[in-house]
Structure 1
């Protein structure tokens, strides 16, 4: 038994860094330990708004481009300060679809030495599943994971043992806001147009979900964390992001999304619990959530604070 101790000590002390480079926010997670029992050393996020002004034009605008480079330089300094050797930077929808996305990746490599991995929507969904599974929120029954990003939304039909079906759709909150949320509060006409658009875009999801009755919708971090925080603050409670999973009272979620959908920008801005970058995008995120709940007849909704970066972390710590 004693011969095995050094290897065990080494395994639990490995320190790794994961960067999730999303359309709205760049995340840096530095952790040590093992996949099932890791300790966060650094957890930073930078609201780079990479899709601002160009998300539906397929280009990263100059100001957003510079914000992205600056964030990566800051992350590089943090990683070097902790002496991390095992580093992964994952890029998703915005960089995947931007005409200057490859140039951004090359510039980051030149300026920071960080090699960004550009993954496709299927890989993104796979990592999200691994993250939610790591949080322990899946059961033997079929769940539908929904991850609302700025550029894309991932849907994963799954259980604790396997993925039954997965797909990424380019209908993220930044894209939908740019297309439909042009008046504030959002108009009834815009809501109707958005719902028709979702009906058209999500035909494959609706068809597949009819074959696998969904027991629960699991919202992966992002907007769902905001829903939880608003609900808990309304009850006079604080929301601790250290929790991994949260079960919504269905009426609480409906009331909160109603309030957000009918609110003005100034009203949302004054709501404690909404971070600045979500003040406007939370409206379309609420509408997507409500569309899925109503279309699929779901009444059980949960939230997982784990998502893509935790899925990548799990892979790094078990290889």
Structure 2
């Protein structure tokens, strides 16, 4: 089944490449609301196939790509920009993540973004918040995935505190139950691991700071189904119910003997790991009762995607917050941004650039001086580091590599290392934005509000022609000298610059 021509215009889709399962949800926008029209879930256990050195088992890789081929058939016909695919913990730790991403993108027909743990937490909270509505209460959201657990405290649709912990149902099962044996010693070891992970953040998320606890994703729903099947708790997860489940694990002794009502066979290998993570979270954060949410990461991705399409892009807010955090000179940022976008408009068609490329140029211009908050010397290097490693809402790790490369390369020598960190399918765009940002920066070196002359930029094959009014360059020798240096620097991009 593929997307029909009538469907593709108002349909969006989200794909979640989780460490345990792959999920896809397709929804149609009707009357300003999302109506889910299709869901597909495949238990892949991608995290189970990654060894201690980050290498992905070939059989698991094949299994994952076969699942994505099926997803790709459903997504066929949906335009670029209406589908967002996110990878989580396993792709963050996989050694050859770029190679797997390229294969996944080929199968899906859409790009794959690897999101940070904090960005994953933000998207999870967004999905949960939209599924529950705003009851005015502060809530704790817990999402136990295959490789990580996200904790979020928020109000309404606004997250207030977010953390991603390196523990999940697949990870804990591999660490503590590698042979599927649930001995008292193994269960105690699992409980200790969870307590150790929680200790640094437990105070922030303790029950004094929220009124309701909500769980999301597969582990929570599996636990709730089993508790209901055992008649222990029909409508919620309780601490007493989780303690009883631990007793069930002890009595079973091993995975092969675990026979619980409501437990699916494909969930059984990681069920004990999920139970122990959830029990540890209950005990560490003082939770007595938790309800399950229908919304999770993929629903959050859908709502975030709708925000981008409706010009409510959370990335704009993240850039504004970064400018404030690092005390950026907003007037200079606006000068450089305005001129860079003016130059962009003159080569847009010749270079095949689009609105998204213009947004990247604007974000880079607005943040190109964040490194000055550390030191003036090599501030482009400091800015690159901040852009690459800060928590930026809405930005994937590949997005941050793009922003970091633009900031690093806006002055001095163009860094091959920074460019090599950019995904291959974005590199050409970055290499075309760099000269525009560099030229705008040079033209505003004086940091004055004096109007620039009418500057014309034209692309001639592998050459840029920059034309000024007669006599202007002679009256501005510093700019002329800077542009001569730019002519040398841009050769590293295979571009000649002619200034007249």
- Relative to the length of structure 2, the TM-score reads 0.55
Deviation at 1:312, TM superposition (A): 0.7
Deviation at 1:314, TM superposition (A): 1.3
The secondary structure found in structure 2 opposite 1:73 is helix
Higher helix share: 2
1:84 aligns with 2:73: no
Q: Which residue matches 1:17? A: 13
Higher strand share: 1
Deviation at 1:271, TM superposition (A): 3.2
Segment of structure 1 superposing worse, 214-223 or 134-143: 134-143
- Asked if the contact 1:34/1:317 (under 8 Å) is kept, the reply is no
Cα distance in 2 for partners of 1:233, 1:88 equals 36
Segment of structure 1 superposing worse, 173-182 or 107-116: 107-116
Count of residues in Structure 1 that have an aligned counterpart in Structure 2: 299
Bigger RCO (CA 8 Å, 6+ sep): 1
Deviation at 1:274, TM superposition (A): 1.8
Q: Which residue matches 2:263? A: 274
Q: Which residue matches 2:410? A: none
- Asked if the contact 1:226/1:273 (under 8 Å) is kept, the reply is yes
Segment of structure 1 superposing worse, 94-103 or 155-164: 155-164
The answer for unaligned runs of 5 or more in structure 2 is: 1-5, 310-500
**CA offset digits 1:130-164 (Å, max 9, x no partner):** 00101116643332211111111111122225322
Deviation at 1:114, TM superposition (A): 2.0
**CA offset digits 1:178-233 (Å, max 9, x no partner):** 11113544122222222222222222221313595343321112111112222333
- Asked if the contact 2:206/2:286 (under 8 Å) is kept, the reply is no
Aligned 1:42-121 pairs, distance under 5 A: 42-80=38-76, 83-85=77-79, 86-121=82-117
Q: Rg bigger for which structure?
A: 2
1:223 aligns with 2:219: yes
Deviation at 1:39, TM superposition (A): 2.4
Cα distance in 2 for partners of 1:88, 1:68 equals 18
Deviation at 1:169, TM superposition (A): 1.3
Distance 1:232 1:189, change over 3 A: closer
Segment of structure 1 superposing worse, 131-140 or 151-160: 131-140
Distance 1:315 1:273, change over 3 A: same
- Asked if the contact 1:56/1:175 (under 8 Å) is kept, the reply is no
Residue among 262, 273, 290 paired with 2:279: 290
Q: CA RMSD in A?
A: 2.8
Distance 1:257 1:155, change over 3 A: same
Q: Which residue matches 1:306? A: 295
Residue among 156, 168, 172 paired with 2:164: 168
Runs (4+) of structure 1 moved beyond 6 Å? none
Deviation at 1:277, TM superposition (A): 2.9
- Relative to the length of structure 1, the TM-score reads 0.84
- Asked if the contact 1:19/1:88 (under 8 Å) is kept, the reply is yes
The answer for unaligned runs of 5 or more in structure 1 is: 1-9, 240-245
Cα distance in 1 for partners of 2:12, 2:256 equals 40
Q: Which residue matches 1:125? A: 121
Deviation at 1:166, TM superposition (A): 0.5
- Asked if the contact 1:146/1:220 (under 8 Å) is kept, the reply is yes
